[in-house]
Chains A and B, each alone.
Chain A
């Protein structure tokens, strides 16, 4: 894993779940530096963990030849975490919001990560790979507290 502090990016080659702890620590540091308290910073890191877990498990199927790139930056009032992958496109915005009462009643399994991402982040954008950009990008946005 290459952490580039100057450009606030992580490049995780051969990304495995073992790297999740490092990714979370990177995101927490960046979020705190940009004005979030520790609790919110940890939540943003949880959302990023959920995205990376889904990429490693489902898009890459633990293929260690693939990479994940994570970049943080400010855009207007938002702190943005951009997560890029080279798997099959998957837009979490197309996943329906779960009715948790019903979910528990039917004792379903899986799909919880996307619900967590939605509850934590203020906005989510997705761009699938195309002729101009070879990777899919998911943008997780959280409004920076004003004080």
Chain B
């Protein structure tokens, strides 16, 4: 778990899916922490990543850029990064840039975990 004053990351493994729980504010200051955690997951050979945005209040392009940086490598290796439980205001930022075209966004954690089983 890493933590700064207004951002927190927790990671749990569920059915061999790395579930990343984000909390607080994801901006240019906090994005490097997320980048480090995802890099570590990939370095450990884990390629199924689910990001749970339930408690995330804010995202800027620096946060979106982290996912863009890894998606190609992960998919090339047969994995994926999926998103779930975005607050409407966070979803709106994804939607502004058309991210729902590229990323699979699921309505809840359970459904998202199941969607990996089909992979």
A residues with CB within 8 A of B: 16-18, 20-21, 24, 39, 42-43, 46, 49-50, 53, 56-57, 100-101, 104, 107-110, 112-113, 115-116, 119-120
Contacts and interface: CB of A to CB of B under 8 A. Distances in A.
A112 B61 contact: yes
21 contacts: A17-B28, A20-B27, A20-B29, A21-B27, A39-B89, A42-B58, A42-B89, A43-B92, A46-B60, A49-B27, A49-B28, A49-B60, A53-B27, A53-B28, A100-B101, A104-B101, A107-B71, A112-B68, A113-B60, A115-B61, A116-B61
Nearest to B6: A21
Given A53-B62, A109-B69, A101 B28 contact: no
Given A21-B29, A53-B28, A56-B28, A112 B89 contact: no
B72 A53 contact: no
Contacts of B97: 100, 112, 115-116, 119
Given A107-B68, A109-B69, 10 more contacts: A21-B6, A42-B58, A43-B92, A53-B60, A57-B28, A100-B98, A107-B71, A108-B68, A110-B65, A119-B97
B93 A109 contact: no
A52 to B, nearest CB: 9
Contact of B60 (A50, A107, A110): A50
A104 B67 CA distance: 12
A113 B29 contact: no
A106 to B, nearest CB: 10
Contacts of B64: 112
Contacts, number: 69
Given A100-B98, A100-B101, A112-B97, A17 B27 contact: yes
